[in-house]
Amino acid sequence: MTVLYEDNHIIAVNKTCNEIVQGDKTGDVPLSETVKAYIKEKYNKPGEVFLGVTHRLDRPTSGVVLFARTSKALTRLNEMFKSHEQIRKTYWAIVQGKPKMVEARLENYLIRNEKQNKSYIAKQGAKDAKLAILTYKTLTVGDHYSLLEINLETGRHHQIRCQLAAIGCPVKGDLKYGAKRSNPDGGICLHARQIAFEHPVSHDEIVITAPIPEDSIWQQLAPKL
């Protein structure tokens, strides 16, 4: 586990693909418990360690995950994440091929299928359809893949994965949304690169950036920047 930032109220770590943020039916040890153990040992804390989950990343996704170390920070961060305006999240994705437009704003209506754990593009007005908006720009282009930077304006289920697949550029390794083949580690090339927000207690501007994964494809495309 790599700690990217910590103070008395918050802690941010760099999640690897295949780690889960919170416990689920798999029974695998979640990242939240790993962070708790780290805090308990580092600060020699007796008893139970408080740690609040403020947001989640899909299991196959990597990057910045922010936790709250106090109830005050948790309450305020939860409010900030709900607004989608006070917290700015930037993702990097390696996608198949090259988008037709170097940069664009994508607006789609999405419907989530709970049983399949998958989202689909729908028509406006369709039952349970929710508006999903993101902007992307192409950072680098390789022979078979491109590196995109994505900023979310909404926070829908599998939004990035679904919307990029809809323009013919599924995330590398993302079989669920049309990638040609899986990645060796079972993850997908979607990385929560940066999170920027006003500190919930000190009100300082905080910007936390996660280093790119060590996979060869990331190393090939990202250093060209």
Residues annotated as catalytic are 58
Would you give the end-to-end CA distance of the chain in angstroms?
A: 26
Q: Which candidate, 16, 71, 3, places its Cα nearest to that of 43?
A: 3
- Provide the token pair at 92: 């990097």
Query: CA neighbours within 13 Å on the CB side: how many for 45?
Result: 16
Could you give the 3-state DSSP secondary structure of residue 196? strand
Helix (H) or strand (E) segment spanning residue 88: strand 87-96
- Provide the token pair at 53: 């989950």
- Provide the token pair at 39: 């805090």
What phi and psi, each to the nearest 5 degrees, are found at residue 151? -120, 130
Are 172 and 189 within 8 A, CB to CB?
yes
Give 63-83 as a DSSP string: EEEEEESSHHHHHHHHHHHHH
